[in-house]
Amino acid sequence: MSKTKEKNVSIKDVAKEASVSITTVSRILNNINYPVSNEARTRVEKAIKNLGYIPNKAAQNLRKNETRTIGLIVRDIGDPYFSEMAKGVTEKAAQLNYMAMVSDSNRNMDYELKYLDLMIRQGVKGIIISGGGIMEEEYQSELQKRVQDARRLGIKVVALSSQGIDLPLVTVDNIQIGKTVCNFFILNNYKKIAFIGGNEKVTTNYERLLGYKIALKEKGMEIDENLIINGQFTWEAGYETCKILFDRKREIDSIFCANDNIAIGVIRFLRENKIKIPNEVSLIGVGDIPIAQYTSPSLTTVKIPFNLIGNRAVELICSDENIEDSSIYFKTQLIVRESIKIPKIS
């Protein structure tokens, strides 16, 4: 087997081999129903096979001034939240004959901006930003710049959570999620409902917490700031943050975890401290990541349709419609599992 790259075989070589013009070859390759004589067609097809001709994407991209690639920016592909989104994206992209370029910012916002730049340079068809927005002026203004660059070049940008700037969204109603969870606790007679959040600068966290507060207010219940604590959207942080919460306050009968990862950390903490779930404390998460069914106890949570969201975002990008002004909200659903006691008997 040869170790070095051979000369690329181009459409030209095929044309020569088949004794036709490159136009004819190109037509056979692309214009499905352009009239070409059977003779020529068979000769060309044979030549293609003989030479092992493979069309050069770079040339096509240049000529057509478009690539069939879409960019996806995630914060941590190892986090089920993002990998499920990525699944929805790559799946639909493949269906539509696109390729997905995935960049993992590792929760570093500078990287996130850098990857945006790279994707714009790559000339992707569109970019999907999948993490919750960061509520920081400088970041948002930098993001805004990129979005403008992208638009100028005809690159669509879609976000899967609100980013605090004007951007089409494919997402869920996070305030509603907060309300739903909190109301469910209240309905079942829980009185001391704690909130363990992720990064407090992230829009999704803010919105879920807001929903929690609204629900409490609507029922005339007091908002106890000692029951509210934020950290990060990870297992480790869920564990640590829960510890801080219980050091601070012990009378807690239920915990609203801003995502399932946090809930997993919380389960671990409670288990180590012999606090029974759901008998002493009930737990609800957000996301319904696949592992939520396999925790002990299994996790009550609000299902976010990651797959549909990823799918739809890709469709939006690959469609020809203008999407700058349209946002799409998917329904969520509370999935009741073992981590909550219903009805609560106090």
Partner DNA sequence: TTGTATGCGTTATCAA
Partner DNA sequence: TTGATAACGCATACAA
- Interaction site with a second copy (CB under 8 A): 1-6, 8, 52, 54-59, 61-62, 65, 67, 69, 76-78, 80, 83-84, 86-87, 90-91, 94, 99-104, 106, 111, 115, 118-123, 148-149, 151-154, 235, 264-265, 267-268, 271, 290-291, 293-296, 322, 324
Read off the DSSP letter of residue 289: -
Residue closer to a second copy by CB (options 148, 319) is 148
Residue 87 near which of DNA, a second copy, none (CB within 5-8 Å, type-dependent): a second copy
Residue 12 near which of a second copy, DNA, none (CB within 5-8 Å, type-dependent): DNA
Binding DNA (rule: CB under 7 A), the pick from 11, 47, 70, 283 is: 11
Does position 334 interact with DNA (CB under 7 A)? The reply is: no
Binding DNA (rule: CB under 7 A), the pick from 1, 4, 27, 327 is: 27
Residue 22 near which of a second copy, DNA, none (CB within 5-8 Å, type-dependent): DNA
Strand order in the sheet with 282-287: 228-230, 193-197, 254-257, 282-287, 300-303, 333-335
Residue 99 near which of a second copy, DNA, none (CB within 5-8 Å, type-dependent): a second copy
| Least separation in angstroms between CB 2 and DNA | 17
Dihedral sign for Cα 194, 196, 200, 203, please.
negative
Integer Cα distance of 203 and 209 in angstroms:
10
Residue closer to DNA by CB (options 35, 220) is 35
CA 75 to chain centre: 9
For residue 80, is the peptide bond before it cis, meaning its omega torsion is within 30 degrees of 0? no
Tell me if residue 135 falls in helix, strand or coil.
Answer: coil
Tell me if residue 244 falls in helix, strand or coil.
Answer: helix
Residues 137, 106: contact at Cβ < 8 Å? no
Residue closer to a second copy by CB (options 253, 260) is 260
Q: Which stretch binds DNA (CB under 7 A): 56-64, 156-164, 180-188, 262-270?
A: 56-64
Integer Cα distance of 50 and 243 in angstroms:
68
Residues 317, 342: contact at Cβ < 8 Å? no
Nearest Cα residue to 181 out of 272, 262, 76, 94: 262
Name the packing angle between helices 11-18 and 22-29 (round to 10°). Answer: 110
Name the packing angle between helices 38-51 and 11-18 (round to 10°). Answer: 130
Residue closer to a second copy by CB (options 57, 331) is 57
Does position 327 interact with DNA (CB under 7 A)? The reply is: no
Does position 329 interact with DNA (CB under 7 A)? The reply is: no
Binding DNA (rule: CB under 7 A), the pick from 2, 16, 17, 39 is: 39
Dihedral sign for Cα 233, 235, 238, 240, please.
negative
Residues with Cβ within 8 Å of residue 19, at least 6 apart in sequence: 43
Residue closer to DNA by CB (options 154, 290) is 154
Does position 46 interact with DNA (CB under 7 A)? The reply is: no
Residue 251 near which of DNA, a second copy, none (CB within 5-8 Å, type-dependent): none
User: Which of 285-316 are b and which e, b meaning 16 or more Cβ less than 10 Å from the residue's Cβ?
Assistant: bbbbbeebeebebebbbbbbbbebbbbbbbbb
Q: Which stretch binds DNA (CB under 7 A): 52-60, 262-270, 304-312, 322-330?
A: 52-60
CA 323 to chain centre: 18
Does position 64 interact with DNA (CB under 7 A)? The reply is: yes
| Least separation in angstroms between CB 17 and DNA | 12
Number of residues that bind DNA (CB under 7 A): 31
Residue closer to a second copy by CB (options 148, 333) is 148
Name the site residues for DNA (rule: CB under 7 A). 8, 10-12, 19-24, 26-27, 29-31, 34-37, 39-40, 53-56, 59-60, 62-65
